[in-house]
Amino acid sequence: MSKVQIHSLFTDFDINLFKSGKHYRLYEKMGSHVIEVNGVRGTYFAVWAPSAQSVAVIGEFNFWDGEQHQLNVRWDSSGIWEGFIPGVLHGMTYKYKIHSTNRGIVTEKADPYARRCEHPPKTASIVYEYKPTWNDNDWMQNREKNNALDAPYSVYEVHLGSWKRKIEENRSLSYHELSLELVAYAKKMQFTHIEFMPIMEYPYDPSWGYQITGYFAPTSRFGYPEEFQELVNACHNAGIGVILDWVPSHFPEDAHGLGNFDGTHLYEHPDRKRGYHPDWKSLIFNYGRNEVKSFLISNALFWLDQYHIDGLRVDAVASMLFLDYSREEGEWEPNINGGRENLEAITFLKEMNEAVYLNYPDTQTIAEESTSFPMVSKPTSIGGLGFGMKWMMGWMHDTLEYFKKDPIHRRHHQNDLTFSMTYAFTENFMLPLSHDEVVYGKSSILGRMPGDQWQKFANLRLLYSYMFTHSGGKLLMMGSEFGQHEEWNFESSLDWHLTEFAPHQGIQNLIKDLNQIYRSQKALHEKQFDDDGFAWISHEDAENTVISYVRSSDNSQVVIICNLTPEPRVNYLIGLPTKGIYKLLFNSDEIDYGGSGFEVNESFNSQNKQWQQRLQSAALNLPPLAVVIYKAE
């Protein structure tokens, strides 16, 4: 006999919003909620299973017996099953046992809206009363300027399980330990934001978190939800924003996950050509189903609301936009207009971005999008997808290909390095040197650099200096900031022992100073997405393999000169944007960075001599494989 009491948190308005794909706070209604009914404490459960014949809550409180706690289906054709079970309280494990109307299929599923999950490989959900303690008011009240598009955006990408490990205990750091060690390190290194690779609950470690089963639960690998909240709080109190990787593109087929949830294709698209991802062997959300849109957009807003997250980096957007993504002829079908665009996914992305910016205008969404799909980071009001930023994958590819080349050959490939500026302002681009570039045999960033050891490190300093002075936001994968030799391995710690050696210390010093200059010099960030903020001095001197450019804000200018060969240039004539005194801001060849210490001009006066289509010029010494930055006073 059922011990479930009829009770509901839903109003008719909630149901109408849910059915129309416009309910963006479903986490307040769906899932498990500890409440009091008629003076008795227990848990209210609600789950969407429209093709269910019956739904039972099974758990430790009823010995996982599917007969004791049968939920009640709502009368309104919403497909929601719900009810209140007295005595079920915080910390108790549970699942839903679903008897389907589809051929008698029976599934046992974790709660899609669970706030906490068991530590993998266990798969049950946990009734959880989340009780955060925030003291980040200063950040939250002022974060609009910290997250704005004219603010510096230097992002440190982190995989929590492998950033640093307790070797003697063979374990990762906890959320609490990370709130002390990681936050202090990122602050010392002057990063403006930390981006966490997915922390939503996932069953399989080698997926790095990109195969999610618990969309509303911080992974239990590193601690409790309040401890993850403590980590975010610590970041904010250190003046560091937090970005989460978010994966609305696909999900795994694990038996306890979203796939075949009620015995039917509920969350995934029923057509295998649109509902299965061949690359990742995972399922693709049905973006045309309103209730699925409500689930996903509620999830995006959940992290911004409940955990004060400052931005979402949306994974694999290209795979969502195109029906033929990674598919051969005959493996996909065109849309109703005969095209290859996934019109339903495009509508979903627009609605998601509109919801985020309407409710949290002081945050950002960032698209990992690798194609030339237009207007990804333009407002939906003018036909764009509505993202705040887009990863500049073309820059990443072309730049790494260029820097792999021996400097003697670079003069024949200068266009590879400078081509990015022909389209740099078509989107609000972020320059990524991400985890994808340091795995699967690609080598570490340092490992791609040519030459002997000194030249490898010099080229790495040159690459980073070019990156930080190029228009756009910046993202750097952990370990790259001190020149890790080996590829990233999710099963082991970064090679922190390398930082005891001078060349690696030099790279750390360089990144810290580049971050400081990027943050302090408005010319490097105020117009980073505006073509008014960039101008070439010369990109045509392939013979000397030197490029030079100006970065500008409303009130300041800096001149950047890159010598891309190991040959120093003495009395190299450079055109200048204005008349005046120029002072050295930065030199990547300094001894503190591991450079040669080649003597450069600490300051100089411009001369009334026309050069490179500029009215002013000066003759400067350029160190080998290095970048110098001068500020016009």
Is 437 a residue of the active site? no
Other beta carbons less than 10 A from residue 430's beta carbon: 26
Token pair listed for 390: 């887009």
Please classify residue 312 by burial: count the beta carbons closer than 10 Å to its beta carbon, then call 0-12 exposed, 13-18 middle and 19+ buried: buried
DSSP letter, residue 197: S
Q: 427, 430, 494, 483: which is closest to 456 by C-alpha?
A: 483
Q: Torsions phi, psi of 222, nearest 5?
A: -115, 5
User: 222 with 173: CB under 8 angstroms?
Assistant: yes
DSSP letter, residue 447: G
Helices (H), 216-373: 225-237, 272-275, 290-306, 317-321, 343-359
Token pair listed for 623: 């160190």
Q: Which long-range contacts (CB under 8 A, 24 or more apart) does 605-610 make?
A: 605/580, 605/581, 606/576, 606/578, 606/579, 606/580, 606/581, 606/582, 608/579, 610/575
User: 203 with 120: CB under 8 angstroms?
Assistant: yes
Token pair listed for 559: 């001149």
Strand ordering across the sheet containing 72-73: 31-37, 40-48, 80-86, 72-73
Among the options 344, 368, 437, 590, which is catalytic? 368
3-state secondary structure 582-619: EEEEEECCCHHHCCCCCCCCCEEECECCCECCECEEEE
Q: 569, 548, 535: which is closest to 629 by C-alpha?
A: 548
Q: 130, 105, 103: which is closest to 33 by C-alpha?
A: 130
Q: What is the DSSP string of 486-526?
A: SPP-TTS---GGGGGSHHHHHHHHHHHHHHHHHHH-GGGTT
Say whether 278 sits in a helix, a strand or coil.
Answer: coil
Angle 502-520/453-469 helices, nearest 10 degrees? 10
Q: Kind of pairing, strands 389-391 and 364-367?
A: parallel
Is 554 a residue of the active site? no
User: 600 with 623: CB under 8 angstroms?
Assistant: yes
Q: Is the dihedral of CA 488, 395, 417, 548 positive or negative?
A: negative
Among the options 315, 427, 481, 589, which is catalytic? 315
User: 105 with 263: CB under 8 angstroms?
Assistant: yes
Q: Torsions phi, psi of 31, nearest 5?
A: 90, -150
Q: Kind of pairing, strands 603-605 and 282-283?
A: unpaired
Q: 252, 249, 256, 258: which is closest to 287 by C-alpha?
A: 249
DSSP letter, residue 409: G
Return the H-helix or E-strand segment holding 559.
strand 557-563
Catalytic residues, by residue number, are 315, 368
